[in-house]
Structures are given as C-alpha cells and as structure tokens.
A and B are shown apart, each in its own frame.
Chain A
Amino acid sequence: MISLLDIAERTQKGRKMPEDDWNMSLFRKIGELVKKYKIPNYTKDTPFLNLDDDLLERVFNAGVDLIVEHGVYCITTGRVVELSREEVLQAVRESPSEILVGTGKDARWMKQRKVEGKEKLNFCPGHHSPFTQDLAPIVVKNFAQIPRTDFIEGFNFTEVDGYEIFGAPIEAYASRKQISWMREGVRKAGRPGLAIVLYPITTRAEVLTAAIDPVDGLRSGDGILTSVLPDEKIEHDLLATAIACEDHGLWRISGSFSMMGGFCGGADGAIVEGIAKPLTAMICYRVYVNYTGVENVRTVSALSIPLQPLNWARSVVNQTLNRFTNIICMAWIIPTSGPGTETHLLETSLRTIEATINGANLYAPRHSRAQMNAGQTPVEGELMVEVSDATLAAGLDRKYGGEVLTSLAKKLEGRTPEPGFTIQECYDLVNHKPSPEFEKIYKDVKGQLTELGLSFP
C-alpha cells in the first residue's frame, strides 16, 4: 500500500489549485459520475433501505473513480494528491477487515460486518461530546462500565486545572489530561486495557500527539480521531499525526460520512463521496475504522429531524463498503433531540436498526448540537445495544427491516427536536441509572419498539 510518506510528498508536490476551484470541480465531477453510473435519487417509491444489489457495484466504482480521476485536496498546501487506480485498488485489497484494539483482557477485535449479518456489532458508547472537568472522574467510568463497550472515545472540555483552555500550550496539556482521565476512568470501571480514542481538544498536530505516552497517555492499542474533511480534503496536522501514530501502534478513526447538500450535491452525489471518503481516509491517514454514511449539512443546526433520503443513502453507502471493501464501518448516531427525551431515543433506535441491518457497528450516540454536559448519557448506548441485538434476534432483513423502520420513522415525522437535559438532570452517575422520569421514557420507547416487532429479554 502506498506509504504515508508518499502521501506527504504528494501533498507537497502535487499540482496547485485554489480551494474554490477544487470545490466546484468536485461538484461537477460527482455530477458526471452520478450520471455515468446511473446512481438514482431517492423517490417516494424507493424502499426505506436499499434493496438493489446491482447498484452497489456501480456506487463503488463511482467512488473509486472520484479519487482516481479527481484526486484528494490538501488544504494546507493547496495541492492535489493524485492516486492511480492501482494504488487505490491495492489499498482496498490490502487493508484489514479486522483490527485488534485495547490490551490484555480488554482487547477487542473491531470487525467489518456483513449486510444482514448475524453477528453482534462492535460498540463505542460515548463520548465525542463536551463534559466539564468536575464530571470527568465519574462520566468516563459510567460509559466504560457498559459491558459491551469495545472502545471509548474522549471528551471535550473548556477548562483544566482552573485555566481556560486557550492557546496551544494549554490545549496540549488538556489533551494529555483528557487521556489521563480516560485511563483512570476505564481502570475504575475494571477495564484497564480498554481502548481509548483521543477526541481532539483542537486539531493541531502537537495537541493530538501530546497525548501519546505508554504510561499515562495513549499507548499501543489506543486510537486518535483523524478525520478526512468534507469535499475530499486532507490536512497536514492530521497527516503528521497519522505518521506519528504509526511508530506507536496507535490506530485511527475517521469521520468519513458525506454531507448531502454540500459540494457533493444531493443524496446521489453524497453516496459517491460517502464511498470515496473512507477510502481516502485509509490511503492518506491509514484509517481502517470509519464512521460512515450520509448526513445532511443542516443536521448540526438541529432544527428538524432528518429522515429520508438519508436513511436510504446511508444504507447504500454502508452496504457498498461492506460488500466491496474491508472498511470497518461504524454508524454515528447523532440525534437532533437532546438526551432524556423520547424523540432522542426514537431517533437512536431508528438509526440503530438501520445500522445493524446495513452492517455498520455502533458508535457514540450524541446530540447533534451537543452542549456542555448535555450531549449524551449511557442510556442511549445501552439502548443501542439492546435494539441492535433485538434486530438480530428478529432476523430483520433489509425488506422487512425497512417496513419496521418506515413505521418507526412515522413516529418522528413532523416532530420538532426536543432540547433535552444535562446528564446530571436525567441520569444518576453514582448508581449508573437513569432518573425515574428518563427511565419511564426509556421503557416506553422499548414498548413502542416491541409493538413494532422487536422483543427484548
């Protein structure tokens, strides 16, 4: 597989291009590929989840073509990294479909799944969300305590040791502290070898790599979030971090979903970028675990609950990646309602069923517009596991699962996202359980899911 040093060199020597030109050129190229490979758009007659297996190979080829014919853009140098078809396909062939994360008794195999597979999914319950420093000791433990946790991601915060986190020096310090607290938290949960993924305090290379330390920081078996940017873009701080990680045996994870409505265009174009991005992450940052799929550029504003065509588009992307690559897909559930609410749990459940059927593992559910201490609780993660297992037990395939999802989606249509609560308001961190009110909501949602055909032990 092409080396990261080669990528680094190409970012330095590839042809120059203004970023605005790249953006519009990408839009045109994706449009051409959508036409060439006859990638359809979603209509009211399209099934909830993709059932067209012939589409998947066309989508894969479109994704490969995008990289081969258009390249990857380095925003640091304003240059295009060009890759040959053989290089891309070699990377597809040679990348592993499973990697070992964590150490000792807590080591886990992260695996690529099959579409409509029968195996239980890998799972990360949190964080990728902001929590205040005072909660750090107990929050991490709560999430790490969830038995099915395979790895856990760090969290963001705004103050450390009484200092505002502002400026590279304190950011680097905070980065080390994040992992130090994570390390302590997983130990307290009795999972000392649980894999920890650094969530960037900021994306400066020095801040990301400052946390590497086998004693109290990131060690072999841990990971760092190094995401390919929207519109097929990479960047030097993240590439430098990827290179630094290689020596230490740290794996990386990339946020590789595409954004419908952006420069990739509509759902059809977002599908193409949804294939290209994880391939780019693999080639340019050596990332084998990606959170994949399609989101909407408006999701972060959390003003409406996004449903179709995203569900269908995500299913096309995840099915394609699982069929034609070794990429280990993860579904990042980002509900637009806040934690402690019915809509939040319904959105979580819908996306979980969808992920399970499409073969995407389960990743850190979090309010799309997370505020301090109000991004997530352990309940959502635990519900994800329950719902996923129930989906497997029910033997839901794409067709029947699609019908269940259609019914579930109807419960969300027209509803406004609820703002939600802070973790302290809806969850008992000492005793690891939801507040009575939240528990009621949780049970009620499970009841609704039971009515739709899922049974829970």
Chain B
Amino acid sequence: MTNGENQGALENLKDAILQYDTEAAKAAAQKVVDQKIDPKIAINEGVLSASTILHERFERGECFIPHLVMAGDAMEAAGYILEASIPKEQITSKKVVVIGTVEADLHSVGKNIVAMFFRSGGFEVHDLGVNVKASSFISKATDTNADIIALSSLLTTTRPYMREVIEELESVGLRDKFKVIVGGGPITREWAQEIGADGYGTDAYEGIEVAKQILGISGN
C-alpha cells in the first residue's frame, strides 16, 4: 500500500466519525485493518484526531451534545475493531472517567458536555447522572478501575459534596488510586486547591486538557 492510500484510509475513518456514522466508521476501521496500517497510528490519526475537530465544532455551535454522543459511538465502534488487531501486550487501555453531579444538585448540562468531551477524546466514560452520593462515585470508580473522578456542581451550597468525595477516598485509603477533577459554575481554582482536588477546569476544554496533563497523556 502506498502512503497516499494509507492516508486516504485514515481520512475516511476520521470523516466517518465526523459524520457521526457508526457503520461507516466500522467499515473504515476494517479497511484500515485489511490494509495492514498500524492500528495504533490509526487510532491516533483517524479516531482521536477527530475529537479536536469535534470540540472546535461544538465551540462554534456547529454541533451539539447529541453529535458528540454519536461521534463517541462511532469512535468506540471503530476503536473496538482496531484494538482487536493490536497484540494484547501492546494495548494501552483506555483511560477511564467516572463523572457526575454531586449530591443534592440536579444540574446536568455542563456535566454532560464534559462527559461527551471525554468520550470523544478517547476516554471510557461512566456518567452517573445527577445527585450522586460520594459512595456511588467511589464504588463506580473502584468497579471500573477508573483513572479520574470528575465532579460537577452548580450550586454554591453543593460544593462541599466535592470535598466529601475526596475525604471519603482518603478515609478508605483510595485517595492515591484516583485523580479528582472538579468544575462547575460556582467552582474556582481556589476552591479546587482548598479541597485537595487534582485539577480544575473553567470549562470542558480546559477540563479535558487538565485531565490529560494529570494522566501524562500527550497530543490528542
């Protein structure tokens, strides 16, 4: 296969994701495998590179949360096919995020955006919804072997429940196992530092970048 043909296959894969087309993404991923293109390159250049474009589209108002969901579906489907052709010992497992809005708070919009950004950014995301107790965050993070617990709050009075998650992690000896990032309307960098969070994002973009930095993920 020529470089040009390889590049074309990767572009097709990226395009399928950017068109939110799961079936096309699967077909394109299969073609990549058939063409014996390095699947790790395909994941980076064909799948994850789409996420930057998606986030920019979202910022410009050209796509919305549901599009991020569909793109995420397409990415997952394609990723599954590509990973199957990577020798097991070479597979870098996806980073896992458990996300939710803290206890006694029903706001969801910001959290949804961040969740979708994570997903389309190649993370495995477990969204617990709203009004989530500290114990539920920890339980899910433990069950899924999460890397990050992402907490959202939109009421000044529900911020303390973020601290509770961190304290609960400490009390059960799991604080070092998970990185905790926080965000939301009343949340500030100072608050994040005060409660001992590992990171803070003003918005979804910053949140993702912070998460990647914390986890030592570079590039896309």
Contact = CB atoms under 8 A, between A and B. Distances in A.
Contacts of A297: 64-65, 109-110, 113
Interface string A180-214: 00000000000000000000111110010000000
B26 interface: no
Contacts of B24: none
A394 interface: no
Interface string A13-42: 000000110011001000000000000000
B61 A260 contact: yes
A47 interface: no
A289 interface: no
A314 to B, nearest CB: 15
A369 interface: yes
In this complex, the interface size class of chain B, counting residues with CB under 8 Å from chain A, is 35 or more
B64 A262 contact: yes
B135 interface: no
A165 B203 contact: no
A156 B104 contact: no
Given A261-B58, A261-B64, A266-B64, A164 B108 contact: no
Contacts of B155: 156, 200-203
A23 B109 contact: no
B129 A156 contact: no
Nearest to A270: B64
Nearest to A164: B160
In this complex, the interface size class of chain A, counting residues with CB under 8 Å from chain B, is 35 or more
Contacts of A265: 64, 66
B76 interface: no
A129 to B, nearest CB: 9
B161 to A, nearest CB: 8
B46 to A, nearest CB: 24
A158 B61 CA distance: 35
Contacts of B160: 158, 164-166
A300 B110 CA distance: 8
Given A24-B69, A203-B105, A372 B156 contact: yes
B215 interface: no
A265 B65 CA distance: 7
Contacts of A201: 155, 157
A395 interface: no
A130 B61 contact: no
A261 B105 contact: no
A137 B193 CA distance: 31
Interface string A296-311: 1110110100000000
A296 B185 contact: no
A55 interface: no
A117 interface: no
Nearest to A299: B109
Contact of B157 (A171, A238, A269): A171
B185 A27 contact: no
Contacts, number: 105
A323 B188 CA distance: 42
A230 B108 contact: yes
A30 to B, nearest CB: 9
A203 B104 contact: yes
A165 B129 CA distance: 23
Nearest to B131: A203
B157 A158 contact: yes
A357 interface: no
Interface in A33-92: 75
A191 to B, nearest CB: 26
A298 B104 contact: no
Given A158-B159, A230-B109, A370 B185 contact: yes
A157 interface: yes
Contacts of B61: 260-261, 266, 296
B69 A23 contact: yes
A262 B109 contact: yes
Contacts of B202: 301, 303
A238 B105 CA distance: 12
A259 interface: yes
Interface string A304-347: 00000000000000000000000000000000000000000000
24 contacts: A23-B69, A24-B69, A27-B64, A75-B129, A156-B155, A157-B156, A158-B156, A165-B160, A166-B161, A171-B157, A174-B157, A202-B105, A203-B131, A207-B104, A237-B106, A261-B65, A262-B112, A263-B66, A265-B64, A265-B66, A269-B64, A297-B65, A297-B110, A368-B185
Interface of B: 58-59, 61, 64-66, 69-70, 104-106, 108-110, 112-113, 127, 129-131, 154-161, 164, 185-186, 188, 202-204
Interface of A: 19-20, 23-24, 27, 75, 130, 156-158, 164-166, 168, 171, 174, 200-204, 207, 229-231, 235, 237-238, 259-266, 269, 296-298, 300-301, 303, 368-372
